Amino acid sequence: MKKPPSGLITALKESNNLLVLTGAGMSAESGVPTFRDAQTGLWEKFRPEDLATPEAFRDQPQVVWDWYAERRTRISTISPHPGHAALVEMEQYFECFMLVTQNVDSLHQQAGSKNVIELHGNIMRSVCSRTGKAIDDEWIAASNDRPPLSPHHPSGLARPGVVWFGEELPTGTMNRATAAALDCDICFSIGTSTLVQPAASLPFVALDAGATVVEINPQPTRLSSAAHFSLRATAASSLPVIAAALAGYKRA
């Protein structure tokens, strides 16, 4: 994208409160494999939807642990792209800026974003399967078990600190994200199909509450026709252009 729509820059200029929702498309441009892309080699015979569930972990904890271990290893070699950096830059221009991500790879935080809500958790963290309490990296590294036993409960195991299919999001995080959607002046929906609930509801909540909604996605989604601006572009090609245009106004 060479130039953002002028109406979008005007709207951003007049706004104090920005909400950004990101999904897998944001990370894909850094090379983070989506669930489907990750099904190579040993994992080809497994369906991701069958691995990322509490039932799979109960029935085959080692298989699920090993699958996540491989994803962690791949993600740890990946860096944020210019779209992540543009969101860091934009954060400083608004009184309120909330970044709600469905991604579990920490790329926003790695880039430097401060006000981030991880709706689906974080793949780099481990928690006790019985209590949900965080388990230190040192404890995990010191164990030869796959998965390691939990230090917090006699029958607990370490599990990835992510929200699995069929699990509820922690109420606090979704409440904070919904409050941000109700309050924002502008809501960006970036790299998400807006299909997976409850995250998918957030741009629609913002829309109903009167916010300007901006979608960035190379493909149309069910949000596209409702959004005020639907940019058919990738995150890394469009966000730096928007941040640069905004810098001219906000810094003036």
Residues taking part in catalysis? 120
CB of 199 to ligand APR, least distance (A): 6
**Cβ closest to ligand APR, residue 136 vs residue 232:** 232
Residues 6+ positions from 241 with CB-CB distance below 8 Å: 1, 2, 3, 4
State which of residues 4, 8, 21, 25 lies at the interface with ligand APR (CB under 6 A): 25
**Cβ closest to ligand APR, residue 81 vs residue 129:** 81
Interface with ligand APR, residue 120, by CB under 6 A: yes
For CA atoms 252, 231, 198, 150, give the dihedral sign: negative
Interface with ligand APR, residue 134, by CB under 6 A: no
**Cβ closest to ligand APR, residue 107 vs residue 148:** 107
232, 211, 208: which is closest to 221 by C-alpha? 232
CB of 237 to ligand APR, least distance (A): 8
State which of residues 11, 96, 149, 196 lies at the interface with ligand APR (CB under 6 A): 196
Residues 6+ positions from 10 with CB-CB distance below 8 Å: none
Residues 44-103 binding ligand APR (CB under 6 A) are 102
Q: Which two tokens stand for residue 109?
A: 């935080």
Q: Which two tokens stand for residue 137?
A: 């990296």
Question: What spatial distance separates the first Cα and last Cα of the chain, rounded to whole Å?
Answer: 24
User: One-letter amino acid identity for 73?
Assistant: T
CB of 153 to ligand APR, least distance (A): 26
Buried b (16+ CB within 10 A) or exposed e, 130-168: eeeeebeeebeeeeeeebbbbebeeebbbbbbbbbeeee
State which of residues 24, 205, 227, 245 lies at the interface with ligand APR (CB under 6 A): 24
Interface with ligand APR, residue 160, by CB under 6 A: no
In 3-state terms, what secondary structure has residue 130? coil
Residues 6+ positions from 63 with CB-CB distance below 8 Å: 46, 51, 56
Residues 200-219 binding ligand APR (CB under 6 A) are 216-219
**Cβ closest to ligand APR, residue 148 vs residue 191:** 191
Interface with ligand APR, residue 235, by CB under 6 A: yes
Q: Which residues bind ligand APR (CB under 6 A)?
A: 23-25, 28-29, 34-35, 102, 120, 190-193, 195-196, 216-219, 221, 234-235
